[in-house]
Chain A
Amino acid sequence: MGTYILKRIIGSILILLLIMVVTFMLMNAIPGSPFLTEKSTPEQIAMAEAKYGLDKPLYVQLWNYIKNYLHGDLGTSLKMQEGTPVKNIIFHQGKFALSIKLGLLALLVAVCLGIPLGCLAAFYRGSWLDGLLRVVTTIGVAIPTFVLAALLLVVFSVKLKWMPTLSGSLTDAKSYILPVISLSSYYTCYIAKLMRTSMLDAINQDYIRTARAKGVKTKALVLKHALRNSLIPVVTYLGPVTAGIITGSFVVESTFSVPGLGKYFVQCVMSRDYPVIMATTVVLSALVIFAMLVVDIAYKIVDPRITLTTKED
Chain B
Amino acid sequence: MKNTFAKISPFQVDPEKIMETFDIRDDDFSSASSQEKESMVEMHKSISFWQDAWRRFRANTVSMVALFVFLLCLFFAFIGPKFIPYTYGDQYRTAQKLGPFEYSKSEDIVRSIQDSADAFYATALRPGSLTAISKGSYYIQYGGKTYAFTMKKGAEKCILLLKQNDPEPLQLVSEKDIKDGAYTKYTAIEFTDTPEEDAKELKLIKRVFPHVFGTDSQGRDIMARTMYGARVSIIIGIMAALIVLIIGSIYGAISGLCGGVVDFVMMRIVELIYSVPEVLIVLLLQVVLKEPLQAWFQAHSATSAFVKAMSDLGAGIVSIFITFAVLYWVTMARIIRGQVLQLKKQEYVTAATALGASNARIIRKHLLPNCIGPLVITTCLQIPSAIFLESFLSFLGLGVSAPMASLGSLCSDALETISLYPYRLVFPAIVLTIIVLTLNLVGDGLRDALDPRLKK
Contact = CB atoms under 8 A, between A and B. Distances in A.
A292 B418 contact: no
Interface string A180-207: 0000000000000000010011000000
B440 A15 contact: no
Interface in A219-256: 243, 246-247, 250-251, 254-255
Interface string A12-25: 10010011001100
Contact of B433 (A142, A150, A313): A142
Given A29-B292, A147-B425, A285-B280, 8 more contacts: A15-B276, A30-B287, A142-B434, A143-B433, A151-B425, A243-B277, A247-B392, A250-B396
Contact of A144 (B284, B422, B432): B432
16 contacts: A22-B281, A26-B285, A31-B292, A32-B291, A138-B441, A142-B436, A144-B395, A144-B432, A147-B425, A197-B456, A200-B456, A243-B277, A243-B278, A251-B396, A280-B280, A288-B275
Given A142-B437, A144-B433, A153-B418, A251 B280 contact: no
Contact of B272 (A15, A277, A281): A15
A109 interface: no
Contact of A154 (B384, B396, B419, B436): B419
Contacts, number: 125
Nearest to B444: A138
Given A158-B418, A266-B396, A269-B283, A284 B277 contact: yes
Nearest to A272: B287
B283 A313 contact: no
A160 B436 CA distance: 29
Given A197-B456, A255-B415, A313-B338, A146 B392 contact: yes
B396 A285 contact: no
A266 B411 contact: no
A265 to B, nearest CB: 7
Nearest to A289: B275
Contacts of B388: 144
A266 B283 contact: yes
A23 B425 contact: no
A23 B284 contact: yes
Interface string A136-158: 00110111111100110110001
Interface residues of B, number: 45
A27 interface: yes
B129 interface: no
B392 A144 contact: yes
Contacts of A22: 276, 281
A270 interface: yes
A26 B284 contact: yes
B440 A147 contact: no
Contacts of A266: 283, 396
Contacts of B291: 30-32
Nearest to A239: B275
Nearest to A247: B279
B334 interface: yes
A240 to B, nearest CB: 9
Contacts of A30: 287-288, 291
A246 B275 contact: no
B215 interface: no
B429 interface: yes
A27 B392 CA distance: 21
B114 interface: no
Nearest to B391: A144
A108 to B, nearest CB: 20
B337 interface: yes
A145 B429 CA distance: 11
Interface string B417-439: 01100100110010011101100
A141 B411 CA distance: 18
Given A23-B284, A147-B433, A142 B384 contact: yes
Contacts of A27: 284, 288
Given A144-B432, A313-B337, A313-B338, A265 B418 contact: no
